[in-house]
Amino acid sequence: MRSSRIPGRRLFRFPWRTAAQVAADVDEELQLHLDLVAEELVEAGWSPEAARAEAVRRFGDLEGTRRFCSSLDRSKETQMKWKQALETLGQDLRFGGRQLWKSPGFTFAAVLTLALAVGASTSIFSVVHGILLRPLPYPQPERVVRLYQPTEDGRVEGGNFSVPTFVDWRHESRTVSAAAAYRYGNLILASSAEAPERLIGMWAGADFFRVLGVRPLAGRWFAPDEEKAGAPRVAVISEKLWQERFGRDPGVIGRTLRLNGEPRTVVGVMARKDMYPDFVDVWLPMVFAEEESQNRGTIFLDALARLAPGATLDAARTEARVISSRLAKQYPESSPGLVIDMKPLQEVMVGDVRTPLLVLLGSVLFVLLIACANVANLQLVRASAREGEVAVRTALGAGRGRIVRQLLTESVVLALTGGAAGVALAVWATKALVTAAPQGTPRIEEVAVDGPVLLFALAITLTTGLLFGLAPALQASRPNLASTLKEGARGSRGRASTRARNFLVVAEIALAVVLLAGAGLLLRSFAQLQKVDLGFKSAGILKFHLSPPQTKYPGDTELRLLVDRLLDELDQLPGVEAAGATIWGMPLISGENVLGFSIQGRPPKPPGQEDSIRFAMVSPGFFRTLGIPVVRGRDLAARDRDGAPPVLLINQAAARQYFPGEDPLGKRIAFSSERRSNLNGAEIVGIVGDFKQSTLEEEVAPQAFLPVAQAPLPRSSLVVALRTEGDPGAVVAAARNRVREIDPDLPVYAVRSMEELVSASAAQPRFYMLLLGGFAFVALVLAAVGIYGVIGYTVRQRTQEIGIRMALGASRDRVLRMVVRQGLTLAVIGAAAGLAGALVATRWMQSLLYQVSATDPAIYSTVAAVLVLVAAIASWLPARRAAGTEPQLALRGQ
Amino acid sequence: MPKSSLDLLHGTVAVLILKALTWGPMHGYDISRTIRMRSDGALGLEDAALYQALHRLEKKRWIDAEWGLSENNRRAKFYRLTDEGRRQLDTEVTSWRAYVEAVSKVLETA
Amino acid A888: pLDDT: 67
Closest residue in A to B73 (Cα) is A1
Q: Residue A5 — pLDDT band, cuts 50, 70, 90?
A: very low
Specify the range with the lowest mean pLDDT, choosing from A2-11, A161-170, A612-621: A2-11
What's the confidence (pLDDT) of residue A890?
63
Q: Count of CB contacts below 8 A, A vs B?
A: 82
Contacts of B74 in chain A (CB under 8 A): 32, 35
Contact A29 B58 (CB under 8 A): no
- Alpha-carbon distance A49 to nearest alpha carbon in chain B (angstroms): 18
* CB < 8 Å to A10, chain B: 64, 66
Q: What percent of chain A has pLDDT over 90?
A: 34
CA distance B6 to chain A (A): 15
CB atoms near residue A701 (< 10 Å): 17
Residues of B in contact with A15 (CB under 8 A): none
Distance from CA of A18 to the nearest CA of B (A): 17
- Phi–psi pair at A173, nearest 5 degrees: -70, 135
Closest Cα partner for A176 from A322, A345, A319, A302? Answer: A319
Q: What is the pLDDT of residues A569-615, one digit of tens each?
A: 999 999 999 999 999 999 998 877 888 888 888 888 776 677 888 99
- Report CA A597 to chain centroid distance, whole Å: 41
Query: What are the angstrom distances between the C-alpha of A440 and each of A538, B37, B103?
Result: 22, 90, 83
Which long-range contacts link A318-325 to residues 24+ away (Cβ below 8 Å)? Answer: A319/A173, A319/A174, A319/A175, A320/A147, A320/A169, A320/A173, A323/A168, A323/A169, A323/A172, A323/A173, A324/A165, A324/A169
Please, which pLDDT band fits residue A805 given cuts at 50, 70 and 90? confident
Contacts of A37 in chain B (CB under 8 A): 29, 47
Task: Say yes or no to pLDDT of A537 above 90.
Answer: yes
Contact A32 B55 (CB under 8 A): no
Question: Strand, coil or helix: what is A190?
Answer: strand
Chain A CB contacts of B28 below 8 Å: 29, 32-33
State yes or no: cis peptide before A277, omega within 30 of 0: yes
Residues A446-498 pLDDT 10s: 888 888 999 999 999 888 888 888 877 777 666 555 555 554 444 445 566 77
Q: Residue A541 forms beta bridges with which residues?
A: A723
pLDDT for position A144 = 93
Taking the Cβ of residue A432 and every Cβ of chain B, the question of whether any pair is shorter than 8 Å is answered with no
d(CA A156, CA A342): 10
Least Cα distance to A620 among A586, A582, A584 occurs for A582
Residue of B nearest to A79 (CA): B59
Average of pLDDT values for A320-339?
86
| Contact at CB, B48 and A62, closer than 8 angstroms | yes
- Give the pLDDT confidence of A161-172 residue by residue, as tens digits: 888 899 899 999
**Interchain proximity A69–B26, CB inside 8 Å:** no
The partner residues of A720 in beta bridges, in order of sequence, read A544, A581
Taking an 8 Å cut-off on Cβ atoms, the answer to whether A2 and B78 are in contact is yes
Which of A1, A68, A72 is opposite residue B68, by nearest beta carbon? A1
- Where on the phi/psi map is residue A297: left (φ > 0), alpha (ψ -120 to 50), or beta? alpha
Contact between B80 and A62 under an 8 Å Cβ cutoff? The reply is no
Q: Which residues in chain B have Cβ-Cβ distances shorter than 8 Å to A35?
A: 74
The DSSP code for A631 is E
Q: What is the ipTM of this complex?
A: 0.88
CB contact under 8 A, B48 and A65: yes
Which of the 8 DSSP states describes residue A673? -
Chain B environment of A23 (Cβ under 8 Å): none
For CA atoms A431, A436, A439, A444, give the dihedral sign: negative
A353 near A444, Cβ under 8 Å?
no
Q: How far is the C-alpha of B47 from the C-alpha of A34, rounded, in Å?
A: 9
Out of B1, B24, B29, whose CB is closest to A32? B29
pTM of the model: 0.73
Give me the DSSP letters along A436-460.
Answer: HSPTT-TTGGG----HHHHHHHHHH
Residue of B nearest to A75 (CA): B59
pLDDT band at A831 (very low <50, low <70, confident <90, very high): very high
Does A32 sit within 8 Å of B76, measured CB to CB? yes
Contact A606, A752 (CB under 8 A): no
Q: Calculate how close chain B gets to A88, using CA atoms only, in Å.
A: 21
Chain A from 160 to 219: CB within 8 A of any B CB: none
Residue A410: count other Cβ atoms within 10 Å of its Cβ.
24
pLDDT at residue A562 is higher than 90: yes
- CB-based contact A11 B29, cutoff 8 Å: no
Q: Do residue B27 and residue A28 have CB atoms under 8 angstroms apart?
A: no
| Chain B neighbors of A60, CB-CB under 8 A | 46-49
Distance CA A458, CA A708 (A): 61
- The candidate with the shortest Cα–Cα distance to A852, out of A529, A513, A510, is A529
Banded pLDDT at A91 (limits 50, 70, 90): confident
For testing contact with chain A, the best of B23, B72, B77, B84 (most A CBs within 10 A)? B77
Q: B47 and A59: CB-CB below 8 Å?
A: yes
Dump pLDDT digits (tens) for A741-756: 999 888 899 899 999 9
Contact A72 B69 (CB under 8 A): no
Report the candidate in A795, A807, A785, A787 with the shortest Cα–Cα distance to residue A887: A807
Is the pLDDT higher at A404 or at A305?
A: A305
**Distance separating alpha carbons of residues A642 and A679, to the nearest angstrom:** 10
First to last CA, chain B: 34
| B66/A72 touch (CB, cutoff 8 Å), yes or no | no
| Window 16-55 of A, Cβ < 8 Å to B | 25-26, 28-30, 32-33, 35-37
- The verdict on a CB contact (< 8 Å) between B29 and A37 is yes
d(CA A256, CA A235): 9
Q: Does A2 sit within 8 Å of B24, measured CB to CB?
A: yes
Mean pLDDT of all residues in A283-304: 82
Contact A70, A21 (CB under 8 A): no
Residue B81 phi, psi (nearest 5): -75, 140
Does residue A516 contact residue A831 with C-beta atoms inside 8 Å?
no
Of A103, A83, A96, nearest in space to A409 by CA: A96
Average pLDDT over residues A541-560: 90
Give pLDDT, residue B82.
92
Q: Distance between CA A234 and CA A226 in Å, rounded?
A: 8
Contact B2, B41 (CB under 8 A): yes
Domain ranges of chain A: 11-100, 150-339, 355-531+763-892, 548-746
Please return the burial class of B42, using the count of CB atoms within 10 Å of its CB with bins 0-12, 13-18 and 19+: exposed
> What b/e string do you get for A478-490 counting C-beta neighbours within 10 Å, with b at 16 or more?
ebeeeebbeeebe
> What is the rounded average pLDDT for all residues in chain A?
85
Q: Which residue of A has its CA nearest to B67?
A: A11
CB-based contact B28 A33, cutoff 8 Å = yes
C-alpha to C-alpha distance for A74 and A414, rounded to whole angstroms: 36
- How far CA A260 is from CA of A249, A279, A293, in Å, comes to 23, 18, 22
Determine contact, residues A252/A238, Cβ cutoff 8 Å: no
Residues of B in contact with A5 (CB under 8 A): 66, 68
With bands split at pLDDT 50, 70 and 90, how would you rate the model's confidence at A657?
very high
Name the interface residues of B facing A (CB cutoff 8 Å).
Answer: 1, 24-29, 32, 46-49, 51-52, 55-56, 58-59, 64-70, 74-78, 80
Q: What CA–CA distance (Å, rounded) separates A277 from B92? A: 71
- Set out the domains of chain B in order of their start, with CATH numbers: 12-109 (1.10.10.10)
* CB of A64 less than 8 A from some CB of B: yes
A343-385 pLDDT, tens per residue?
A: 999 888 887 888 888 889 999 999 999 988 888 888 877 777 6
Contact residues on chain B for A26, CB-CB shorter than 8 A: 55
Cβ-based contacts of B35 with chain A (< 8 Å): none
**pLDDT value for B68:** 87
Over chain B, what is the mean pLDDT? 84
Which residue of chain B comes nearest to A76, CA vs CA? B59
Residue in chain B nearest A41 by alpha carbon: B1
Residue A67, chain B, CB below 8 Å: the answer is no
Length of chain A: 894
Residue A68 in contact with partner chain B when CB distance is under 8 A: yes
Q: What is the pLDDT of residues B66-105, one digit of tens each?
A: 888 888 888 899 999 999 999 999 998 898 888 888 888 8
Instruction: Please give the pLDDT value at position A483.
Output: 54
Smallest Cα distance from B102 to chain A, Å: 33
The residue type at B88: Q
Across the interface, whether the CB atoms of A72 and B55 are under 8 A apart is answered yes
Chain B residue at shortest CA distance from A68:
B52
Within 8 A by CB and 6+ apart from A580, the residues are: A567, A618, A619, A620, A621, A622, A623, A624, A625, A626, A720, A721
